[in-house]
Amino acid sequence: MLSAFYVDKLIFLDSINRQDLQKIYEDGKKGLLACPICGETLFLYVGIEHSPHFFHPSKQKDCGEIHSTASEETAVGIEYEEKNGFRMPKSRSITDNQPKTVYKEPKQLQIKVPFLEPAASVPSYEENYLHLLQTNGVLLDPSQAEAVAMLDGPALVIAGAGSGKTRVLTTRTAYLIQEKNVDPSSIMLVTFTNKAAKEMKERLLQYPFMSPSIVNKIVSGTFHRILYQILTFHQPHKWQRQNLLSKDWQKETLLKEIGKELSLDTKEFPFDAAIQQIGAWKNSLLFPHEVSPINDWEEKVLLLYKQYEEKKQHLNLYDFDDMLLGGYYYFLENPQILEVYQNRFHHFLLDEFQDINKVQYEWIKLMSKKAKSVYAVGDDDQAIYAFRGSDPKYLLDFEKDFPSAKVIILHHNYRSAHEIVSAANKVISKNKKRRTKKMIATHSGKAPLLFYPYDEEEEATMIVTDIQEKMKKGYKPKDFAILYRTNTNSRAIFERLSASSLPFKLEQDAGSFYSRFIVKSMLGFLKLIIDPDDLDAVKDILPSLFVKKSVLQDMKAASILQDCSLLDCLSTVKTGFAFQESRLKKIPSVLVKLKQKQPIEAITIIEKELGFQEFIKKRGNEGNQWDKGSDDIRDLKVVSKKFSSIIEFIAHTKHMIAMNVEMKKQYAYSNNTITLSTIHRAKGLEYKTVYLLGAVDGSIPHDYSLEAQRNNDFLPLEEERRLLYVGMTRAQQELYVSIPMHLRGRRVNASRFLSSV
């Protein structure tokens, strides 16, 4: 059905303003939609597979249709008649007077490359270990078998998405031991996560003749774990476990202490991003005296970096990055010990080689000077960790340091359907700095679907509706992943899932959108409108007013002595700057007038009249490339439009903060939940159905990469394209890519990366 009674109007879906669709959907959940024929309750369908329409929740068929005419306008003074106990329009319908917008139908990608069924034949082997693996169900395709059985020497295995790199690494390890009679204690198997190392050991135990006594002799683990074991063996007093800053909050606490000494606002400055930047410098072997900051933010981080290293040394503390640096320089400074290890380890097998950083690469070169083989496995198309110092150039230029290296490409993707693989191939083929290759799927399925929600609110509704429909067909929550560029993109989908009964899992370190610094500051103003004595709200707004928190004690004292609210006491704060004091005096009177305003109006007025726009601009100039406070406020405005009162809006934000904590507790250990994740965190994982959010310029690719391109730096843009490629290739059977028409209240364009598909 395309028509319905909405409150007291008869509306038609082909004549309402598209931006109102989400509100009508939500009001339908409140019982505000009714059938114009029978008068019973209607709901509005907003999903992916079908166009928006009204439907009876309790009926299999609709009653029929009332048709609008092109000449109809909003009716004023329309006549009604009683019919079956309901008031019905007597002669003409009521339509919205707003301009008509067109619903854009989803687009199924046309795959021009036909699917060719791969040859069913499996290589036959002589009576060797590969034959034994085959008879035990460990099947290898020709390129995998070639990679496993190659001779000694340096080797680079380009393992594309879903190509079975773990199988190749583990069978290569077993092959060396069982076929080549290599001593397992002379093998070093390096992974990028402890989980991957554990999984590889478990898989090795399933292979013929691979007993625990053999597998446990293999030195395996992450770079950090292996180097830490070496360092604690040789320098146990220097590397005591209790001196390790193992958590980011420990490093952040230390940096904040330094920040106070440098007069940085500990609430305003993005210390989490500073930790990331310092780590990237250290992993690139850049010490404080070697760093050349490119902006004001990096200059501040460099000051933190210098004093952070000095304070750690003074307190005998170290972090994970120091394990890498400490191990590398320990061997440089102790050539005799280095030679002992060089003589011990003859074979190095390196996983996720595209993610290696400079210090790791230099250490491997040191260690492998006498090795019989350096066996690197990775995919330059999945290099997405430049922000922490990783660089795909070590994979791309492998033959420069290892001139006799043999290169093998694993072409078959066993994870994703042909249609998904073909679309992903088209996207990544536009990158210029890559090894030329094209993945080939082993099965066919559904073509990826591009869909076009009005904004992030409608995007979330469409996805949740689609998941609910699929679950009625037998899908399980664990079949779904919803992926996005950054955690800030998850706000709307988190809220929609929270309102549903669907179980979902959020990344453990993903805080609530409403707890973000800029958002908390704006919400502080709104909370003071409701409660002028809200101490936490006052704390939250002070940074945006460029006032130190030390004034709080004076304000509390003034509140008691003058018998007035904390909000009123803002006007008594003395800062020594006339302009600042004038603004502080203005705040109480402005906020009092906003009490009856809608949240969106209040936010806009606070921005303009209380200097919040200046605060965001200053933070943007001093902040890092990822932290865009203006985006946060635009997103806050989008959600605020859904509420008619400030009290209702603040209650919603508190509920969402609580839900963020609750969901992490409730489903932390569940294996059957919908996954909400950044694309970075989803790397290496796979799901039956994947939804990619916000595939628009400014999101994927991120704004910072577009800015870099304008400055003739194309590397960040290529990494963003790789990020989209990684997201697409997480899907096994179904891939849905969302291209919202608006993002954070602004009109946006489809991602330039999708122009080729």
Residue 703's CATH number = 3.40.50.300
* CA 505 to each of CA 218, 515, 660, 661, 662: distance values in angstroms, whole numbers, following the listed order: 35, 19, 10, 11, 11
φ/ψ of 4, rounded to 5, equals -165, 155
Which segments of 98-204 does DSSP mark as H helices, in order?
Answer: 129-135, 142-149, 165-178, 194-204
**Which has the higher per-residue pLDDT, 354 or 511?**
354
Which segments of 205-247 does DSSP mark as H helices, in order?
Answer: 212-215, 223-234
Q: Find the CATH number of the domain harbouring 624.
A: 1.10.486.10
Selection from 687, 674, 672 nearest residue 727 by Cα: 687
User: Whose structure tokens read 């929740």?
Assistant: 57
Does 110 fall in a domain?
no
At residue 314, the pLDDT reads: 92
Task: Answer yes or no: pTM beyond 0.85.
Answer: yes
Tokens of 682: 């989803």
Claim to verify: residue 500 and residue 546 sit in the same structural domain:
no
* Amino acid at the residue 485: R
- The pLDDT of 206-233, averaged and rounded, is 95
Determine contact, residues 200/218, Cβ cutoff 8 Å: no
HSE toward the beta carbon, residue 473, CA cutoff 13 A: 7
Q: How confident is the model at residue 481 (pLDDT cuts 50, 70, 90)?
A: very high
Q: In DSSP terms, which residues pair with 89 in a beta bridge?
A: 80
Claim to verify: residue 502 and residue 535 sit in the same structural domain:
no
Q: pLDDT tens for residues 613-649?
A: 888 877 655 455 555 557 888 899 999 998 999 999 9
Task: Tell whether omega for the bond before 701 is within 30 degrees of 0, i.e. cis.
Answer: yes
The angle subtended at Cα 640 by Cα 638 and Cα 645, nearest 5°, is: 160
96 pLDDT more than 50: no
* Amino acid at the residue 606: I
Sheet holding 449-451, edge to edge: 107-108, 449-451, 731-738, 687-692, 480-484, 674-678, 504-506
Report the percent of the chain where pLDDT is more than 70. Answer: 92
Determine contact, residues 37/2, Cβ cutoff 8 Å: no
At residue 579, the pLDDT reads: 78
At residue 80, the pLDDT reads: 45
676 pLDDT more than 50: yes
- Secondary structure, 3-state, 498-560: HCCCCCEEECCCCCCHHHCHHHHHHHHHHHHHHCCCCHHHHHHHHHHHCCCCCHHHHHHHHHH
Q: Find the CATH number of the domain harbouring 291.
A: 1.10.10
91 pLDDT more than 90: no
At residue 287, the pLDDT reads: 94
Rounded Cα distance between 434 and 378, Å, is 12
Claim to verify: residue 461 and residue 375 sit in the same structural domain:
no
Report the percent of the chain where pLDDT is more than 90. Answer: 65
Rounded Cα distance between 349 and 173, Å, is 8
Q: What is the mean pLDDT of the chain?
A: 88
At residue 345, the pLDDT reads: 97
The angle subtended at Cα 438 by Cα 432 and Cα 442, nearest 5°, is: 155
Helix (H) or strand (E) holding 186: none
At residue 26, the pLDDT reads: 93
Claim to verify: residue 344 and residue 489 sit in the same structural domain:
no
Does 524 fall in a domain?
yes
For the ranges 531-540, 610-619, 672-681, the lowest mean pLDDT is seen at: 610-619
Claim to verify: residue 217 and residue 349 sit in the same structural domain:
yes
Claim to verify: residue 80 and residue 35 sit in the same structural domain:
yes
For the ranges 275-284, 298-307, 630-639, 662-671, the lowest mean pLDDT is seen at: 662-671
Does 632 fall in a domain?
yes
Q: pLDDT tens for residues 501-528?
A: 899 998 766 778 898 888 999 999 999 9
Claim to verify: residue 673 and residue 640 sit in the same structural domain:
no
Please identify, among 78, 103, 128, the residue that sits at the C-terminal boundary of a domain: 103
Does 113 fall in a domain?
no
User: Whose structure tokens read 């500051």?
Assistant: 521
417 pLDDT more than 90: yes
Q: Print burial letters for 164-194: b (CB count within 10 Å at least 16), e (below 16).
A: bbbbbbbbbbbbbbbeeebebebbbbbbbee
Claim to verify: residue 210 and residue 355 sit in the same structural domain:
yes
Selection from 350, 409, 378 nearest residue 172 by Cα: 350
566 pLDDT more than 60: yes
Claim to verify: residue 290 and residue 200 sit in the same structural domain:
no
SS3 357: strand
Determine contact, residues 137/163, Cβ cutoff 8 Å: no
Tokens of 54: 């009204």
Does 467 fall in a domain?
yes
Rounded Cα distance between 452 and 105, Å, is 7
At residue 83, the pLDDT reads: 47
Tokens of 86: 């309901």
Neighbouring residues of 187: CB distance < 8 A, sequence distance ≥ 6: 173, 176, 177, 218, 219, 345, 346, 347, 349
Tokens of 274: 């500073």
Q: At what angle do helices 418-428 and 715-728 cross, to 10 degrees?
A: 180
φ/ψ of 244, rounded to 5, equals -85, 130
Please identify, among 651, 682, 700, the residue that sits at the C-terminal boundary of a domain: 651
Tokens of 106: 């989803």
* Amino acid at the residue 299: E
Rounded Cα distance between 688 and 479, Å, is 5
SS3 373: strand
63 pLDDT more than 50: yes
Rounded Cα distance between 159 and 448, Å, is 23
- The pLDDT of 718-722, averaged and rounded, is 96
The total of structural domains in the chain comes to: 5
Does 575 fall in a domain?
yes
Determine contact, residues 707/698, Cβ cutoff 8 Å: no
Q: pLDDT tens for residues 403-415?
A: 999 999 999 999 9
Q: Dihedral through CA 431, CA 436, CA 440, CA 446, nearest 10? A: 10
Q: How confident is the model at residue 95 (pLDDT cuts 50, 70, 90)?
A: very low
Does 661 fall in a domain?
no
Determine contact, residues 601/529, Cβ cutoff 8 Å: no
Q: pLDDT tens for residues 107-127?
A: 998 888 888 777 655 666 666
8 pLDDT more than 50: yes
Determine contact, residues 157/375, Cβ cutoff 8 Å: yes
How many residues appear in the chain? 757
Neighbouring residues of 463: CB distance < 8 A, sequence distance ≥ 6: 48, 482, 493, 496, 691, 736, 738
Does 440 fall in a domain?
no
Cβ neighbours of 432 (radius 10 Å): 6
At residue 68, the pLDDT reads: 64
φ/ψ of 151, rounded to 5, equals -75, 170
22 pLDDT more than 60: yes
SS3 252: helix
Most confident of 190-204, 510-524, 539-553: 190-204
Rounded Cα distance between 541 and 544, Å, is 5
Domain range enclosing 585: 514-651
Cβ neighbours of 58 (radius 10 Å): 7
Claim to verify: residue 216 and residue 334 sit in the same structural domain:
yes
Please identify, among 593, 623, 651, the residue that sits at the C-terminal boundary of a domain: 651
Claim to verify: residue 520 and residue 502 sit in the same structural domain:
no
Neighbouring residues of 611: CB distance < 8 A, sequence distance ≥ 6: 544, 545, 583
Q: pLDDT tens for residues 694-715?
A: 999 999 999 889 988 998 989 9
φ/ψ of 160, rounded to 5, equals -65, 175
Rounded Cα distance between 542 and 553, Å, is 13
400 pLDDT more than 90: yes
Claim to verify: residue 13 and residue 64 sit in the same structural domain:
yes
